[in-house]
Amino acid sequence: MAALVVRLSCLGKRWVLACIDGGSRHGRGAAIGLTSRRKRGQSSVAQQPLIAVQKSRKGEREWAAVVGLEIHAQISSNSKLFSGSQVHFAAPPNSLVSFFDASLPGTLPVLNRRCVEAAVMTGLALNCRINKKSLFDRKHYFYADLPAGYQITQQRLPIAVNGCLAYSVSVGKKPSQVSTRTVRIKQIQLEQDSGKSLHDEPRSQTLIDLNRAGVGLLEVVLEPDMSCGEEAASAVRELQLILQALGTSQANMAEGQLRVDANISVHHPGEPLGVRTEVKNLNSARFLAKAIDFEIKRQIHELENGRKILNETRSFDDKLGCTMPMRDKEGKQDYRFMPEPNLPPLLLYDTASLPPGADPQQVINIDWIRERLPELPGKTREKLIQQYGMLPEHSFTLLNEVGLLEFFQNVIKETRAEPKKVTSWVLNIFLGFLKQQNLAVNESPVTPSALAELLNLLDRKAISSSAARQVFEELWRSKGKTPSQIVSEKKLELMQDQEALERVCHTVMEGHPQVVMDMKRGNPRAINKLIGLVRKATLSRADPTVIKEILERKLSS
């Protein structure tokens, strides 16, 4: 179940389900710069029953929606942010809890270097300014899964600020009309995760699991530069890919490693922003898009009916597809922020400011981390497009599916087939089969080598396209067989014997004089019928182009 949600969230061409213009006035604007704030009127969500932003029914004034996101990404690290406890998903309850995590009195936080490095890497990848000095604060609230009564976070001076994230959405009717947009990143802060409360309603008990308490989080705050659910979902998906490429977070939404809260408001263009609501705990990109679009529509509906929007926290009910006010009072709390006195300021260095003779174990050098950043998804896509002449949308699909790019590259390595052919097979047939059976790439019964071999057979015209498809189906069903084995077992190889094929053609023409007559009278469809008949007679083992050649030659002679 867990894996299912994520896979649905990146199903097919999800990235293209983005905003398109209702009109064409500011549709395919090129990359949106940091400072340019698009007009938000008139956009609507493609292929969504819920129309997000629209002309007022009274036909007078447009509405614009403004969406900002707060994203919590669990840092991928061996141990927690301030304690030595291990970090594992789905470990037995309360098995990964140190004295500090349980807030035993007298325990003190000790900052995990790996988490700091992950924050710096993420900040650099998101074009942020890394603060060489950042501070930790306590944020107070009473909750059963927050043992200390406060969370250690970075409210005053976070580790990274002022970044930006470029993401792509489709802007036209065709998926190839892609527009790159940019959302500004306000800040990235390091903070502790809370534990989990499990409410046992019948027994009116609450059970607490502190395994997650104290795990390092990166809170990434995206400025309200988005205007609909699909923009938000695309931005989140891009962030997810970046985090995964960096290895700073597994960013699996279904496992709670990536959690998104959305701030949403609507207003008339040119007027001040409206009152915003916050939709919390969105655990898949699909629900994120749905929740935002529902909320935009709801707010417009409320305002048009003379009601007011309350500054409140809402939750998304994925079964009903709507947002509901959350009853907890958390949103109105005064968190009584205070500097965390047990942690000195977090100091980072670059090569220029590195104190001479500093112990490399004791200091973090931003430049050193920058030089070792891995390739980011944007660059990978660019390379795919350049190297293989791939369409941009195909490069997106390849990256969006976990493991698909690697699969594709392994096929390319082992086959002589054209990259375009490989792309087409991987994205249409292979991915189609996976989707149909709801499998992940690494669960595929067909290996890259098998597909490569199959494409080689096709490439040297040993089999026809339709036979290739048959072989693929067979590969999918019976693990362990090679394409060549299947081809010979099923006698799928193309007839290489020209004379034999000519004889079959001759027999077919003789058997269907009426069709031959039609053809001679100039009916272009008639030849196709003949080709079909010949293929049937050869059990689909003949190449249709060769059949056509023979037939045409015979007819004209």
Partner 1 sequence: MLGRTLREVSTALKQGHITPTELCQKCLSLIKKTKFLNAYITVSEEVALKQAEESEKRYKKGHSLGDLDGIPVAVKDNFSTSSIETTCASNMLKGYVPPYNATVVQKLLDKGAVLMGKTNLDEFAMGSGSTDGVFGPVKNPWSYSKQYREKRKQKAHGENEDSNWLITGGSSGGSAAAVAAFTCFAALGSDTGGSTRNPAAHCGVVGFKPSYGLVSRHGLIPLVNSMDVPGILTRCVDDAAIVLGMLAGHDPKDSTTIQDPVKPFTLPTFADVNKLCIGIPKEYLAPELSSEVRSFWSKAANLFESEGAKVIEVSLPHTSYSIVCYHVLCTSEVASNMARFDGLEYGHRCDINVSTEAMYAATRREGFNDVVRGRILSGNFFLLKENYENYFIKAQKVRRLIANDFVNVFNSGVDVLLTPTTLSEAVPYLEFIKEDNRTRSAQDDIFTQAVNMAGENLTSAIPEPHAKEPEQLHVTSFSYLPMTNELAGIIETFVVTKRPYWT
Beta strands in 293-367 (DSSP E): 313-317, 322-325, 338-339, 346-347
In angstroms, what CA-CA distances link 495 with 455, 464, 483, 492, 499? Answer: 18, 10, 17, 9, 10
CB of 199 to partner 1, least distance (A): 10
C-alpha–C-alpha distance, residues 243 and 222, integer Å: 15
* CB-CB neighbours of 71 under 10 Å: 26
The two three-digit tokens of residue 360, written as one number: 């490399």
Q: What single DSSP character describes residue 90?
A: T
Question: Left, alpha or beta for 438 (phi > 0: left; psi -120 to 50: alpha)?
Answer: left
* Only segment of 137-145, 309-317, 467-475, 527-535 that touches partner 1 (CB under 8 A): 137-145
User: Counting contacts by CB under 8 A, is residue 342 touching partner 1?
Assistant: yes
Classified as helix, coil or strand, 381 is helix
* CB-CB neighbours of 417 under 10 Å: 21
The two three-digit tokens of residue 200, written as one number: 């046992």
User: Counting contacts by CB under 8 A, is residue 37 touching partner 1?
Assistant: no
CB of 396 to partner 1, least distance (A): 44
When binding is defined by CB under 8 A, the residue of 271, 334, 499, 510 that contacts partner 1 is 334
Residues facing residue 205 across a β-bridge: 200
| Cα pseudo-dihedral 494, 499, 504, 507, rounded to 10 | 170
User: Counting contacts by CB under 8 A, is residue 148 touching partner 1?
Assistant: yes
User: Counting contacts by CB under 8 A, is residue 347 touching partner 1?
Assistant: no
CB of 15 to partner 1, least distance (A): 41
CB of 280 to partner 1, least distance (A): 19
* Only segment of 14-22, 103-111, 125-133, 400-408 that touches partner 1 (CB under 8 A): 103-111
User: Counting contacts by CB under 8 A, is residue 202 touching partner 1?
Assistant: no
User: Counting contacts by CB under 8 A, is residue 138 touching partner 1?
Assistant: yes
User: Counting contacts by CB under 8 A, is residue 336 touching partner 1?
Assistant: yes
CB of 86 to partner 1, least distance (A): 18
When binding is defined by CB under 8 A, the residue of 63, 150, 167, 396 that contacts partner 1 is 150
Q: What single DSSP character describes residue 223?
A: E
Pick 173 or 332: Cβ nearer partner 1: 332
When binding is defined by CB under 8 A, the residue of 104, 358, 373, 539 that contacts partner 1 is 104
- Rounded to whole angstroms, the maximal C-alpha distance in the chain is 100
* Only segment of 105-113, 289-297, 525-533, 535-543 that touches partner 1 (CB under 8 A): 105-113
User: Counting contacts by CB under 8 A, is residue 103 touching partner 1?
Assistant: yes
User: Counting contacts by CB under 8 A, is residue 356 touching partner 1?
Assistant: no
CB of 362 to partner 1, least distance (A): 8
Classified as helix, coil or strand, 122 is helix
Pick 141 or 368: Cβ nearer partner 1: 141
C-alpha–C-alpha distance, residues 495 and 539, integer Å: 10
User: Counting contacts by CB under 8 A, is residue 216 touching partner 1?
Assistant: no
User: Counting contacts by CB under 8 A, is residue 348 touching partner 1?
Assistant: no
User: Counting contacts by CB under 8 A, is residue 108 touching partner 1?
Assistant: yes
User: Counting contacts by CB under 8 A, is residue 135 touching partner 1?
Assistant: no
Pick 326 or 440: Cβ nearer partner 1: 326
Encode burial over 17-44: b for 16+ CB neighbours within 10 A, e otherwise: bbbbbbeeeebeeeebeeeeeeebbbbb
> Hunting for tokens 């998926």 — which residue is that?
175
411, 448 Cβ separation under 8 angstroms: yes
User: Counting contacts by CB under 8 A, is residue 142 touching partner 1?
Assistant: yes
Contacts of 176 (CB under 8 A, 6+ apart): 391, 392, 393
Contacts of 118 (CB under 8 A, 6+ apart): 75, 76, 77, 216, 218, 246, 248, 249
C-alpha–C-alpha distance, residues 340 and 338, integer Å: 6
| Alpha helices (runs of H) in 415-447, residue ranges in sequence order | 419-424, 431-437
Quote the Cα angle for 526-530-536, to 5°.
145
Residues facing residue 20 across a β-bridge: 44
Contacts with partner 1 by CB under 8 A: the residue count is: 30
Pick 2 or 110: Cβ nearer partner 1: 110
User: Counting contacts by CB under 8 A, is residue 212 touching partner 1?
Assistant: no
Pick 4 or 338: Cβ nearer partner 1: 338
Pick 59 or 106: Cβ nearer partner 1: 106
CB of 53 to partner 1, least distance (A): 34
Q: Which amino acid is at 152?
A: I
Letters for 80-99 (x = contact with partner 1 by CB under 8 A, - = none) are: -------------------x
> Hunting for tokens 């037995």 — which residue is that?
92
323, 316 Cβ separation under 8 angstroms: yes
User: Counting contacts by CB under 8 A, is residue 110 touching partner 1?
Assistant: yes
User: Counting contacts by CB under 8 A, is residue 374 touching partner 1?
Assistant: no
User: Counting contacts by CB under 8 A, is residue 105 touching partner 1?
Assistant: yes
User: Counting contacts by CB under 8 A, is residue 140 touching partner 1?
Assistant: yes
User: Counting contacts by CB under 8 A, is residue 363 touching partner 1?
Assistant: no
When binding is defined by CB under 8 A, the residue of 14, 73, 77, 109 that contacts partner 1 is 109
When binding is defined by CB under 8 A, the residue of 8, 11, 32, 111 that contacts partner 1 is 111
Q: Which of 465, 459, 489, 460 is CA-nearest to residue 541?
A: 465
CB of 154 to partner 1, least distance (A): 15
CB of 173 to partner 1, least distance (A): 50
Pick 111 or 326: Cβ nearer partner 1: 111
Q: Which amino acid is at 73?
A: A
User: Counting contacts by CB under 8 A, is residue 326 touching partner 1?
Assistant: no
Beta strands in 143-177 (DSSP E): 150-153, 160-170
* Contact residues: partner 1, CB under 8 A: 99, 102-111, 138, 140, 142, 144, 147-150, 206, 208, 334, 336-338, 341-344, 362
